[in-house]
């Protein structure tokens, strides 16, 4: 219960609880403050001080209060939104203040959190509710903690603590500003071979350190490598690790998952697919080779449809040489990958350190540009969508010990993103915005975020007008009409009758113009597209051009490929005349407005006017008789104008 000061004294407001950890969504400032105090994020006294300092009166609605607190960095947008939903539990776990969603996976969510009694940020991995009593998942978390606390290597994310509140099991780990190798490849395509070799070399050295400590990872794959901006690689997720002195935990995993096949089918070593307990470090060398295969080619070694077929291929078939898929890769590098993926462990590099030395001559360390805040926003969006889907009912396939590949669903984490989703301010410097809010273009500030910068693939593409009727529903699952905490909704779609005239897309390097005659135009290579863009790197529904309040926006939709606007990956982006949309890395469309399409530009008209006036002045100066004759004739004179005699021809006249 929260006590709020009003003009006439103290008012008491209470909310009726609907269920454990969730109460009725607050409508007033008093109700919002009550849930905020219950969450443990702020004490009642601190809430009172904040309300006084920001002059948050009792007649304000809850959403306005949430926006103010986020803007002043008292709460993060994630915290504000949870309180607005009536979900106050879980924002403080054993004293760790949860700030934002960092990522998610099969075991649960990873949050950015603050350590008790300090401002130090950590990663808090929390086992999901449905797995809280799952012996297999608990065993995996325990293994991950044991490996992470034992290993102290710059290439391995360190675990500091494994604990439980009784209801919540969690790990405390180093917080790393990184993007996974899976995300890089899914979004940008294959890496340059020098960078891929450097990633492999760093990962191999980290794995060698783990092997020397008696730990075999057994689940090496692109999603388990984090790349930092400076190119540093970190290995994570030792949840399936085999630790030489942890027979009890290994037994627990075997009882739950079965001992014959622990790992991911697209990357698992042949011997590991037969008996996961009888492996040595060379199994990780094989999986690293399969992971680098994806980094080099953006495809898995054996893209079979079923897990059974994938496992059989790992045991019996040789992968295609990466040099056949990318001829620019040196043959020596292709040979290294083939040796790492040899079927017989005796034919591979015998240690991960040997594999690292084989890759070293070709390794090139370069920065990996990406926007960490935007990346976390994208992950948070998908985490929310997955949570919503899970709450609707059990629609996902049952869990097994052999999870399916993620790279075969490239950029799945990008699905349905819009830049008004909760911003990720919590990792970084004080200069990081505490709230990502939409500002109307009329207010003089640009809308949208600055997403991850990309360098896409280059297809051969053409553009053509496609059939109409793909308007899409304004209120679909990824519609723009709703808003989060402190984030005003975007303007509604412009009515067809009020649609600005003269706007069109022009294909770069050609005269092809595609008029924008609908407030919502689908772009893609499928039959639903209003604007058909064909070629590699373009999805059937790539995205939408939407006119809202007279302003054009690009909203991304593809789950497989990215779209760049003026060189930056676009999620939700306001557009202006002259902006360039890049699809598949090479196909470029430019948005042009009425001033470009219709009539002459203003500067041309002014130039013609100046030239005309200058000509008239020249006539007056050189032929004064012509003007005098015209004026003396009067306006009603029907006689022809008499031109003065030109006189005898000058020298040189014809």
Looking at the chain, the number of H-run helices and the number of E-run strands are: 18, 27
Tokens representing residue 167 in the block: 């209801």
DSSP result, 367-421: -----HHHHHHHHHHHHHHHHHHHHH---SPPP-SSPPPSGGGTTGGGTT--TTS
Alpha carbons 75 and 42: distance in angstroms, whole number: 9
Active site residues: 219
In contact, 170 and 321? CB cutoff 8 Å: no
Using DSSP bridges, classify how beta strands 96-104 and 551-556 pair: parallel, antiparallel or unpaired.
Answer: unpaired
Alpha carbons 435 and 71: distance in angstroms, whole number: 6
In contact, 99 and 111? CB cutoff 8 Å: yes
DSSP annotation of 549 reads: T
Closest CA to 174 of 66, 102, 257: 102
Other CB atoms within a 10 A radius of the CB of residue 444 amount to: 7
Alpha carbons 423 and 237: distance in angstroms, whole number: 25
Using DSSP bridges, classify how beta strands 531-533 and 520-524 pair: parallel, antiparallel or unpaired.
Answer: parallel
SS3 21: coil
Q: Which distant-in-sequence residues (6+ apart) come within 8 Å of 306 by Cβ?
A: none
Closest CA to 234 of 177, 293, 298: 177
In contact, 229 and 368? CB cutoff 8 Å: yes
**Residues of 188-216 as b/e, b for ≥16 C-beta within 10 angstroms?**
bbbbbbbbbbbbbbbbbbbbbbbbeeebb
Other CB atoms within a 10 A radius of the CB of residue 559 amount to: 18
DSSP annotation of 280 reads: -
Alpha carbons 330 and 324: distance in angstroms, whole number: 11
Tokens representing residue 2 in the block: 């929260």
Other CB atoms within a 10 A radius of the CB of residue 379 amount to: 24
In contact, 96 and 116? CB cutoff 8 Å: yes
Alpha carbons 632 and 280: distance in angstroms, whole number: 111
Other CB atoms within a 10 A radius of the CB of residue 13 amount to: 18
Task: Indicate the burial class of 273 (C-beta count within 10 angstroms; 0-12, 13-18, 19 or more).
Answer: buried
């Amino acid at each position: 219960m929260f006590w709020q000061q009003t003009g006439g004294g103290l008012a008491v407001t209470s909310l009726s609880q609907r269920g454990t950890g969730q109460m009725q969504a607050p409508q007033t400032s008093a109700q919002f403050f009550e849930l905020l105090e219950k969450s443990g994020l702020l004490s009642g006294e601190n809430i009172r001080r904040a309300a006084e300092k920001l002059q948050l009166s009792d007649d304000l609605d809850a959403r306005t209060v949430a926006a103010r607190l986020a803007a002043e960095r008292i709460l993060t947008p994630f915290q504000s939104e949870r309180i607005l939903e009536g979900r106050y539990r879980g924002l403080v776990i054993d004293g760790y203040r949860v700030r934002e969603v960092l990522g998610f996976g099969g075991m649960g969510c990873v949050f950015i959190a603050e350590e008790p009694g300090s401002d130090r940020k950590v990663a808090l991995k929390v086992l999901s509710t449905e797995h809280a009593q799952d012996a297999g998942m608990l065993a995996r978390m325990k293994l991950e903690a044991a490996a992470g606390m034992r290993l102290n290597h710059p290439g391995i994310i360190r675990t500091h603590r494994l604990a439980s509140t009784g209801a919540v099991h969690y790990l405390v780990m180093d917080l790393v500003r990184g993007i996974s190798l899976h995300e890089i490849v899914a979004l940008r395509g294959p890496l340059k071979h020098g960078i891929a070799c450097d990633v492999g070399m760093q990962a191999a050295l980290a794995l060698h350190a783990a092997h020397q400590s008696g730990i075999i990872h057994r689940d090496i794959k692109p999603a388990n490598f984090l790349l930092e901006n400076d190119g540093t690689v970190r290995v994570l997720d030792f949840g399936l690790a085999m630790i030489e002195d942890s027979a009890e935990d290994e037994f627990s995993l075997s009882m739950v998952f079965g001992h014959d096949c622990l790992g991911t089918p697209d990357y698992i070593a042949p011997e590991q697919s037969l008996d996961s307990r009888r492996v040595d470090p060379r199994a990780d060398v094989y999986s690293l080779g399969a992971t680098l295969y994806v980094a080099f080619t953006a495809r898995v070694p054996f893209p079979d449809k079923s897990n059974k077929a994938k496992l059989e291929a790992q045991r019996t078939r040789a992968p295609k040489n990466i040099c056949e898929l990318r001829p620019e890769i040196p043959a020596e590098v292709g040979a290294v990958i083939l040796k790492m993926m040899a079927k017989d462990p005796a034919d591979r590099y015998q240690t991960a350190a040997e594999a690292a030395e084989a890759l070293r001559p070709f390794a090139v360390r370069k920065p990996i540009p990406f926007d960490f805040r935007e990346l976390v926003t994208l992950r948070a969006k998908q985490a929310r969508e997955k949570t919503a889907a899970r709450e609707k009912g059990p629609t996902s396939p049952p869990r097994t010990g052999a999870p399916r590949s993620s790279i075969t669903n490239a950029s799945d984490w990008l699905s349905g993103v819009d830049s008004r989703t909760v911003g990720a301010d919590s990792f970084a410097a004080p200069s990081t915005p505490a709230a990502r809010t939409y500002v109307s273009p009329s207010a003089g500030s640009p809308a949208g975020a600055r997403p991850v910068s990309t360098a896409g693939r280059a297809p051969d593409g053409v553009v053509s007008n496609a059939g109409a009727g793909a308007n899409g529903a304004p209120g679909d699952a990824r519609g723009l009409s709703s808003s989060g905490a402190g984030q005003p909704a975007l303007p509604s779609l412009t009515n067809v009758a009020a649609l600005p005239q003269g706007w069109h897309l022009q294909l770069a390097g050609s005269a092809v113009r595609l008029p924008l005659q609908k407030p919502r135009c689908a772009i893609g290579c499928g039959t639903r597209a209003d604007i058909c863009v064909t070629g590699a790197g373009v999805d059937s529904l790539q995205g939408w051009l939407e006119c809202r309040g007279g302003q054009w926006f690009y909203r991304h939709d593809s789950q497989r490929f990215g779209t760049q606007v003026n060189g930056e990956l676009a999620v939700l982006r306001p557009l202006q005349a002259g902006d360039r949309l890049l699809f598949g890395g090479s196909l470029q469309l430019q948005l042009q407005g009425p001033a470009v399409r219709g009539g002459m530009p203003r500067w041309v008209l002014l130039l013609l006017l100046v030239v005309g006036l200058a000509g008239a002045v020249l006539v007056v100066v050189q032929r004064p008789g012509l003007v005098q004759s015209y004026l003396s004739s009067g306006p009603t004179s029907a006689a022809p104008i008499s031109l003065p005699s030109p006189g005898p021809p000058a020298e040189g006249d014809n």
